[in-house]
Structure 1
Amino acid sequence: MNISLTMRNSHAAVSPFTQAKPVANRLCAVRRQSPARLATIVAQGAATSTPETQTLYTELAAVLDDYKRVPPSMKQEISMEVSGLCQKLQSAGALPKWGTAAEDLASRRSIQLGELRMVGIKSPEAISKVSVRNDAAFLFSVVATTSISAVILGQLPGDWGFFSSYLCGGISFVVLGIGSVNPGILQFAIDFFSQVFPDYKERVLRHEAAHFLTAYLLGVPVAGYSLIVGKEHTDLAEAALQRRLIEKQLEDKEVDTLSVIAMAGATAEAMYYEEVMGQNQDMFDLQRIMNRSGTKLGNPQQQNQTRWACYQAATLLRKFTKEYEVLQECMKRNDTVEKCIQAIENC
C-alpha cells in the first residue's frame, strides 16, 4: 500500500503546457462522457442545489477523468485544475470540510508513546516494526506445496519420477534465492497471496481511506485511488509542491501536512489491529518528505516527526469517525472521487 504524490517526477518529460486549459475545452470533455456518467455527475451535484455548484462538480468529474488518461508529463497541469475547482467549490459553499483541518493542525512538539495510545493507537511500536507475516506465510506455502508435489511426482515411473521431483523441489531454492537477491520481484506474488488472510481487504480499505480523508481535510486534492492488489495507492494532485520536492525546499508547514497524510494509512491500521502490515511505503514516503525539508532534521527530530504525524493522523480519524466510515463504504463500492467527496460533505 502506498500513497502517491501524483505530481511530475524529476525524470518525467517537461510538459509543453504551462497554463490550464480553458473551461470551454473542459466542457467539451464533459460532453464526451456517456449519458449514464453525466446522469451520475448531475445527481451528485444536486445536493448542493445551485446551478453554479452543479457545473463545478461536472467540471471536476471531467478533469478527474482526464487526469487518469493523460501521460505523466501533463498531470501537473491537470492537478492545478483539480485544486482550482476544489477551491471554487469551497468558495461556493459546497466543500466546507475541505482543508478545515489545516487551520487547526497543531505545531510540532515532542510526542511520547503513551500519548499515541491515548488517541487510540493500540500498539505504537508496531508502526515502525516491519511485519513478516505475509512473507513467512508465502514462503511456508511455497516450501510445503513444492515438497508435497516432489514426493508425489517421485512416484512416477522411470526417469520421470527422478527428474520431476528434483525440479519441483528446486523451486523452493529458486524462490529463496530471488528473495535474498531481489525480494521486490516476489512482492506482487506475496501481496496476491496475502488475500488468503481474512483481514487483508479490510486493512487495505482502512489504509487508503485514511490517506484519502486526511489529505482532503488538510486541503490537498485527491485525484484518484486504487484498492487493486499490488496497486494500492492514493493519488494526490498537488502540483504546487512538486518544484519544492525536487529542489528540497519544502517549508515546515508543508512537511507537517504531507507527514500526516503519509502516515495516516499505517496509523489507521494501528488503531484497529495489533500488527501493522502496510507501513513500509508510508515510512518511505515520510522519509522522502523529511529529506526534502528546507529545515534540516536530525535523527531525533525525524523520529519525533514520525510520532507527531501519527498522533495528528489519529486525532483527525477520531474526530471525523463518521466521515471515515462513510468514505470506506464509498471506496468499497469503487465510487468516483467526486462521489466520495460528496459523501464526506454530506455527513
Structure 2
Amino acid sequence: MATTSCTSPFTSTAALSASQPASPSSKRFLPFPSRPPRPGTRVRADSLREWSEFEDAVESKDLSRALRFLQSVEPASYPEASTNAATQVALPLSPGRDWEVLDTCIDADDMRLVGRAYQFLSDRGVLANFGKCKNIVLEGPREVTPTILKEMTGLEAAKLAPKKWGLSGNSRYVLATFFGGASFLLTQGVDVRPNLAAILALATADALFLGGTCAAQISCFWPPYKRRVLVHEAGHLLTAYLMGCPIRGVILDPFVALRMGIQGQAGTQFWDAKMEKELGEGHLSSTAFDRYCMILFAGIAAEALVYGEAEGGENDENLFRSLCVLLDPPLSVAQMANRARWSVMQSYNLLKWHKKAHRAAVKALESGHGLSIVVRRIEEAIASDR
C-alpha cells in the first residue's frame, strides 16, 4: 500500500521582501503569520472585503469563485523595519479555512472543477492521504473464490451480499409484526383491509415511481437504520478518498437524492478522471474498472465490517451489473461474480486498515458536518493512527 508524506497545512512561510517578487508557486500558498501584527499595523480594508467575498462564495456554494480566490491570495508581508507609523498588510487565511472550499463542491456542475479543488489542496499539503491507496488495484491476483473471500475477511460470501427487504435482517421482523398486528385486528372484528389495500398501493407506487424514497424517508426516523446508512455512505466516501477520486458530496436525504438523480435513498458522488477519459475514448482499462468497483462495493464492505453482514447496496450491485454488460466483450455471470468478490474483499480490507478513519467519518456525518469537516476528521484520524 503506497504511503505519502506532506507538510503541515498550517506551516508559516517566510515573508517576501519588497525587492523580491513573489514566485508563481508562492502564490498558491495561503500562509498565516508566525507572529501577530505589530502595534500600529492595520489590515487593508480591501483584504477584509476579499475574505468576505470568499465567505460569501462558500455560503452560496460557488466553487469556481471560492477556488479562484484561494488561488489568487498572496502571502502576507512583514517588513523588519518600517518608518511608517502604520503598516498595511494583507489579511492572512485563518488556520483551516482553506478546507471550506470542499463544502462548495456539492453544487458544482463541472466535476473537473471539483477535481481541481482537490488537486489544489493536495498541492498545498492539506490532503495528505488523498489517493494514498490508488495503486492497490495493481496488487494481488484477481481470482477470488468464496473460500478465499472467507479466509481474507472471515465472512461467508452471503454476508457480503445485499439483502432483500422483508426477507432478512430486521426487516423480516418488521414485516412479521405488521402482518401479525393486522391479523390480530381482524380477529377482534376490526376490518383493516381497506386501509391495508391503500397502504400497499401507496408503497407500490413509491417503489415504482420514486424508488422507495418515501419509505426511506420514514425509515430514517429509526436510529438503527439511519446509522447503517451513515456507515454505508462513509465506506464509499473513505474508499473514494483513499483511491484519489474527488468527492462531490454525500447525499443523505432521500428526496434530495431523488432530485439529484441518485439511484437509491442516499448516495456518495465521486469522480474518476481516468475512467471518464477512457470511456470517452471508447475503452476501459482493467485498472480503472477495478478502482471504480472497489468504491462501488465499499458501502457493502463497510456494513459487513461494522455489523458482520450487509443489508444495503442493492443499487450498487445493479449499477455494477449494468456496467459489466457494457464492456466489450461483456463479462459473463461467473466473471461478474468473481469481480464482485475481489472488489468487496479489497474494500473490506482497505476499510479494516483504516477503521479509525471510517469511524471518524461516520461520526462527522452523524453530527451533520459538511464535507470539509468530514475529510478533515479522516485526515486527523489517519495521522493519529500512525
Q: Same fold (TM over 0.5)?
A: yes
Mapped contact 1:331–1:340 kept (Cα < 8 A): yes
Q: How far off is 1:128 after superposition?
A: 2.9
Mapped contact 1:208–1:233 kept (Cα < 8 A): yes
Deviation readout 1:88-118 (Å, 9 max, x if unpaired): 2222222221111112332551012233233
Stretches of structure 1 that go unaligned for 5 or more consecutive residues are: 1-22, 155-164
* Gap change, CA 1:326 and 1:229, over 3 Å in 2: same
Deviation readout 1:58-88 (Å, 9 max, x if unpaired): 56634642x4346xxxx2x2x2112112122
What corresponds to 1:125 in structure 2?
Answer: 158
What corresponds to 2:306 in structure 1?
Answer: 272
What corresponds to 1:99 in structure 2?
Answer: 131
What corresponds to 2:20 in structure 1?
Answer: none
Residue 371 of structure 2 is aligned with which of 331, 334, 337? 337
User: Which protein is richer in helix relative to its size?
Assistant: 1
* Gap change, CA 1:150 and 1:229, over 3 Å in 2: farther
Give, as a single letter, the amino acid of the residue that structure 2 aligns with 1:300. Answer: A
What corresponds to 1:324 in structure 2?
Answer: 358
Mapped contact 1:211–1:234 kept (Cα < 8 A): yes
Q: Does residue 116 of structure 2 align to residue 84 of structure 1? A: yes
SS of 1:114's partner is: helix
SS of 1:199's partner is: helix
1:190-205 superposed matches below 5 A = 190-192=215-217, 194=219, 199-205=224-230
Residue 249 of structure 2 is aligned with which of 212, 215, 224? 224
Give, as a single letter, the amino acid of the residue that structure 2 aligns with 1:263. Answer: F
Q: How many residues align?
A: 292
1:208-219 superposed matches below 5 A = 208-219=233-244
CA distance in 1, matches of 2:279, 2:96: 30
Deviation readout 1:167-209 (Å, 9 max, x if unpaired): x323334555676798446834543564586632332121111
Mapped contact 1:259–1:289 kept (Cα < 8 A): no
Give, as a single letter, the amino acid of the residue that structure 2 aligns with 1:68. Answer: I
What corresponds to 1:30 in structure 2?
Answer: 54
CA distance in 1, matches of 2:280, 2:321: 14
Query: Quick check: 107-116 or 306-315, which moved more?
Result: 107-116
Mapped contact 1:56–1:88 kept (Cα < 8 A): no
CA distance in 1, matches of 2:320, 2:277: 17
CA distance in 1, matches of 2:123, 2:101: 20
Q: How far off is 1:243 after superposition?
A: 6.7
CA distance in 2, matches of 1:309, 1:149: 48
Q: Which has the higher contact order (CA 8 A, sep 6+)?
A: 1
Mapped contact 1:123–1:275 kept (Cα < 8 A): no
Q: How far off is 1:144 after superposition?
A: 4.3
Scaled by the length of structure 2, the TM-score of the pair is 0.63
Structure having the higher Rg: 2
Q: Does residue 326 of structure 2 align to residue 287 of structure 1? A: no
Mapped contact 1:251–1:294 kept (Cα < 8 A): no
Say what the alpha-carbon RMSD is for the aligned residues.
Answer: 3.9
What corresponds to 1:255 in structure 2?
Answer: 289
CA distance in 1, matches of 2:314, 2:102: 31
Deviation readout 1:14-51 (Å, 9 max, x if unpaired): xxxxxxxxx9xx9886241589x9xxx9xxx9xxxx98
Q: How far off is 1:125 after superposition?
A: 1.4
Mapped contact 1:119–1:314 kept (Cα < 8 A): no
CA distance in 1, matches of 2:217, 2:309: 19
Scaled by the length of structure 1, the TM-score of the pair is 0.69
* Gap change, CA 1:173 and 1:34, over 3 Å in 2: closer
Mapped contact 2:144–2:342 kept (Cα < 8 A): yes
Q: How far off is 1:308 after superposition?
A: 0.5
SS of 1:308's partner is: helix
Stretches of structure 2 that go unaligned for 5 or more consecutive residues are: 1-27, 29-49, 77-91, 256-264, 382-386
Mapped contact 1:255–1:290 kept (Cα < 8 A): no
